Amino acid sequence: MATNADQQPNKAQGRPTLRDVAQMARLSVTQTSRALNGHSDVAEDSRLRAQHAAETLGYAPNLAARRLKDPGSGTQTIGVTLTSTTQRFSDPFLGDLLTAMVDEVSCHGFEMQLFSPTPNEEPVAALERSVRHKRADGYVLLRVESRDQRVSFLSEAGVPFVTLGRPVTKGAHRRVVGAEDSLDTAVSHLVDLGHQRIGAIALPGGYAISDRRLVHFTDAVERQGLTVDHSLITTADSFQEDGGRSAMERLLDSEHPPTAIIGFNDQLAIGALAALAGRGLEVPGDMSVVGFDDVSLARFITPTLTTLRQPVEQLGQLLIQQLLAAIDDPESNHEVVVKPELMVRQSTGPRPTPC
């Protein structure tokens, strides 16, 4: 993992932040937060360093200050907004991510609450209700759109939030994102196996992660000296396995199908495997398949799935840590970059030999 971590304490006018305290105490932000909040699992030396740094800098948390001015304004609650039409609890990546976030939230003495729109309601509506009734101190936005109304709303309202992904919507905020070259290793792996017609099953468009992964893929293909063939790229109509299956069938029905395919999440790749099996094609003998995320099922299906592993537990921890830092410093604009790791398994092999 690489981060754009601040190297110096905040020099701007105004009160010191938790990051400043952590840097002076030579502790992580998480350790510092736990030390200042009296958690029993913090070493006495760390606790004393954090307290000394806080006293030296004159640090006082935003939430505490707000409660002194307006009792009841702080909730010790983190809000997570879901979009009911596209996110399901059966989604293995989402389930693992939420579990990691709950674990991290509890470490900081907070609670986590989920907010989702009612049927036929825009995703921002549930968020507006929550903010209006002061139900959370800050929000995690998952599966953000490239131009996300929730980002605009929270930015204008001055409410702390963090996004998984990098929307283009204006508004300074904290983000946890994938590395720009995240698909390089997957494409390079397939090229090393002799593949030149490399296709992709893209996630539904309009989402920040979807759009960025498509750019990452085309950039990775070009960096290998290949020409991007848009006839080998198709967009799934869902994030689920059924979307991957129908997308793979479309590619198989094309005049010149690819010899290898990358699904932009594991569910799409698993759906592609089902489509290939339904046509009597072998993987990797007739087609190589790569996924993205490394959900637990990827290691147990047949063939096991070559995929780009995202450290989902770390992602959940980072989202909460970044949000707590945003609550402490609402005007911060910080990005943490996570680089996936290629896990080579049975679903990729040499390019098929032409008959």
What is the per-residue pLDDT for 2? Answer: 39
Fold type of domain 71-179+312-340: Rossmann fold (3.40.50)
Backbone angles phi, psi at 198, to 5 degrees: -105, 120
DSSP track, 315-337: HHHHHHHHHHHHHHSTT---EEE
Instruction: Over range 336-352, report the average pLDDT.
Output: 95
What is the per-residue pLDDT for 216? Answer: 94
DSSP track, 70-120: STT----EEEEE--TTT--TT-HHHHHHHHHHHHHHHHTT-EEEEE-PPTT
DSSP track, 192-222: HTT---EEEEEPPTTBHHHHHHHHHHHHHHH
Instruction: Over range 68-91, report the average pLDDT.
Output: 65
User: Do 181 and 216 contact (CB within 8 A), yes or no?
Assistant: yes
What is the per-residue pLDDT for 252? Answer: 97
User: Do 93 and 312 contact (CB within 8 A), yes or no?
Assistant: yes
Binned at pLDDT 50, 70 and 90, residue 314 comes out as very high
Q: Please state which architecture CATH assigns to domain 2-57.
A: Orthogonal Bundle (1.10)
- Tell which wins on pLDDT, 251 or 70: 251
Backbone angles phi, psi at 326, to 5 degrees: -70, -35
Domain 184-310 sits in which CATH superfamily?
Response regulator (3.40.50.2300)
Give how far the C-alpha of residue 125 lies from the chain's centroid of Cα atoms, to the nearest Å: 23
pLDDT in tens, 167-208: 887 777 899 998 878 899 999 999 999 999 999 999 998 888
User: Do 264 and 281 contact (CB within 8 A), yes or no?
Assistant: no
Residue 253, C-beta contacts closer than 8 angstroms, at least 6 positions apart: none
Two tokens, residue 179: 């590395």
Identify the CA nearest to 166 among candidates 233, 221, 98, 213.
Answer: 213
**Could you say which DSSP state residue 168 is in?**
-
Its pTM surpasses 0.85: no
* CATH 3.40.50.2300 domain locations along the chain: 71-179+312-340, 184-310
- Tell which wins on pLDDT, 303 or 9: 303
Residue 10 CA to residue 13 CA, distance in Å, equals 8
* CATH 1.10.260.40 domain locations along the chain: 2-57
Two tokens, residue 255: 């005049």
The total of other beta-carbon atoms located within 10 Å of residue 335's CB is: 14
